[in-house]
Structures are given as structure tokens and as C-alpha cells.
Amino acid sequence: SELVVSFGEMLIDFVPTVAGVSLAEAPAFVKAPGGAPANVAIAVARLGGGAAFVGKLGDDEFGRMLAAILRDNGVDDGGVVFDAGARTALAFVTLRADGEREFMFYRNPSADMLLTHAELNVELIKRAAVFHYGSISLIAEPCRSAHLRAMEIAKEAGALLSYDPNLREALWPSREEARTKILSIWDQADIVKVSEVELEFLTGIDSVEDDVVMKLWRPTMKLLLVTLGDQGCKYYARDFRGAVPSYKVQQVDTTGAGDAFVGALLRRIVQDPSSLQDQKKLEEAIKFANACGAITATKKGAIPSLPTEVEVLKLMEMLEAWKYCDAVMLL
């Protein structure tokens, strides 16, 4: 199977209608559906791949809206359950003028945190070629146990496990708890992707040198990736390592770029799992993922920015041709 099953939270971000304001200053907000694992599932589906999402939503207008977004984008929502008593999670998010992101979460508790292991769609999870997850679902019970159980089911059924911790410090009781719990499932994953910020958070060292990244390497891993924004990413596999620069684009909003990158990479890996052992194939897959992340960074929001395969291939072709130009304006 080429199915990517993504597990975790789906929620609504409320983002200010104007850029560069604090949450308090924002005059109004618009709904922006998101949640990293849901974004990854939609990224895979948008690229033409099989994708499913497993998680819990509130049995409310917002929860039903989110499930419809999954279906409309071709994501199998057979793993979605609804909680009658809790609301769909909300997050107010702004990019302030000083470049810092400010978050305010409404999770007290939200439906996603209440998923139980008994509610898991075991048959769906067993069909996964890749089972992908983050760390937000590890924060609170009963979702934490459901998450651990789902990983076990997927692994036993032969899926590759893919982990993007997607650190949201504000959701954890403490930095130490976040670090410990994020690392508690580190050894199970076949594929791990971290950002520069997460690398520093987890190692305590502000550097992307190989010896620092290797602190996060485990012999059980098949691939470790560090994404570097417009610089592309570094990759570490058992027998080789390297870096792949991204494509030069006009950056508008990077929200979802990391999820687009992960979705695209997983899509390529399920299409040809030997990419994990073949450096040339892996670099091709990463180039494709970089292009997918780059396109997502040129548009506002996460889900509306996720490209189709044709769009990604077009960008790659166009920018390969313009390689020797310093700045390329998109569109």
C-alpha cells in the first residue's frame, strides 16, 4: 500500500486579518484550519497520494467543518471520531512585527486530547505504509496512551513510523517535561524531522553542525532531517548524509511549509521505499519536498497553499532553468 496515515490534532487557527500585530492589537481574525498532522495528510492527498487522518474533533460546527475539509481534499476521514462533550481545539496565532510568533490556545481540554485507544480505527492504521505523528498528542491522557497504542499497531503491521515533534512550548507544563516526553518515543521512529529550533531545544546547542545533529541520531533510524527554512535541509541516513538547498522564492507566510515538506517526502518514500537506502533517489525526493515547502511559503495560510504534484514539478523545472539567476520572482 502507499497509504500515509497521519495521527494527531486538527484544529482551527484564528489569524489576524492584518499582518504584524499582537493578538491584543488584532482588529479581527479569520479561520485557518490546521494542525500539523492534518496538514501533512492533506499535503499527501493534494500530491495525489493516499492519505488518512486519525484524531478526535468536537461534535460541533467547527469539528464537522474540519472533517469536511479532510474529505474535500481527498483525505480518508475513517479514523476521525467526535467528542460529544468537548469542543474542537482553537488557537489564536499571530506573527508580530518583531518576527515572533504569539500563540493562545483554547484546549481545556479540547476534543483532540480526549481520543482513547478504544476509539482507534485499528483496521485503517494497519493499512498504513507510513504512520506519521507529532508530539502534541503526547501531552495529555487519554490521547497520549492512544498515540502510543496507535504507534504499536502501525509498527506491528509493518508501517514505517515518521515523527515530526512540532514543538509548541506553550502547551507543555514545562520545558523539561516537553524535552523528556518528546524524546521518550525517539527510538521508535524510522524517519524523524526537526527544525533548527527543535534541534537546539532538544540538544541544548545552538548549531546545525553534524556532531550536534548526530546527538539525535539513533541506530534504529532510517532517516533524520533538519529543515533550515529557505536554506533547505540536511539529511542523515545510515550510510550517507548531505544537504539539499531549497528553491529561491518570494516568501509570504511559512505556515505549513514544514508540513508540506514532510507530506511530500513521505509521498515519495511510499512510492519508492528504496529511496531511504539510495542517496541519489533520496536527494531527488528531498528536492521535491523542498520545492513543496517553498511553494507553501509563497502563499498565506497552510492548507490553501499546499501544492499539487504538477505545480511542484513545474516550479522545479522553472527554477532549475533559472538556476544561475540570483532572484526569481514567482508568478
Catalytic residues: 259
Task: Examine residue 79 and tell whether it contacts ligand ATP (CB under 6 A).
Answer: no
Cβ atoms < 10 Å from Cβ of 21: 16
Cα first-last separation, the chain: 36
Rounded to a whole number of angstroms, the minimum distance from the CB of residue 290 to ligand ATP is 3
Task: Examine residue 37 and tell whether it contacts ligand ATP (CB under 6 A).
Answer: no
Cβ atoms < 10 Å from Cβ of 304: 11
Contact 266, 225 (CB under 8 A): no
Q: What are phi and psi of 191, to 5 degrees?
A: -130, 125
Q: How far apart are CA 101 and CA 21, in angstroms?
A: 10
Distances (CA, A) of 155 to 108, 131, 138, 220: 31, 8, 17, 13
Task: Examine residue 73 and tell whether it contacts ligand ATP (CB under 6 A).
Answer: no
Rounded to a whole number of angstroms, the minimum distance from the CB of residue 304 to ligand ATP is 14
- Residue 276 gets which letter from DSSP? G
Task: Examine residue 261 and tell whether it contacts ligand ATP (CB under 6 A).
Answer: yes
Burial 22-33 (b: 16+ CB within 10 A, else e): eeeebeebeebb
Task: Examine residue 294 and tell whether it contacts ligand ATP (CB under 6 A).
Answer: yes
- The pattern of x and - marking residues 166 through 205 that bind ligand ATP according to CB under 6 A reads -----------------------------x----------
Cell of 301: 495560510
Closest to ligand ATP by CB, 131 vs 247, is: 247
Rounded to a whole number of angstroms, the minimum distance from the CB of residue 156 to ligand ATP is 29
Rounded to a whole number of angstroms, the minimum distance from the CB of residue 210 to ligand ATP is 17
Closest to ligand ATP by CB, 111 vs 294, is: 294
**225-254: which residues touch ligand ATP (CB under 6 A)?**
227-230, 232-233, 246-247, 249, 251, 254
Binding site for ligand ATP (CB under 6 A): 195, 227-230, 232-233, 246-247, 249, 251, 254, 256-259, 261, 290, 293-294, 297
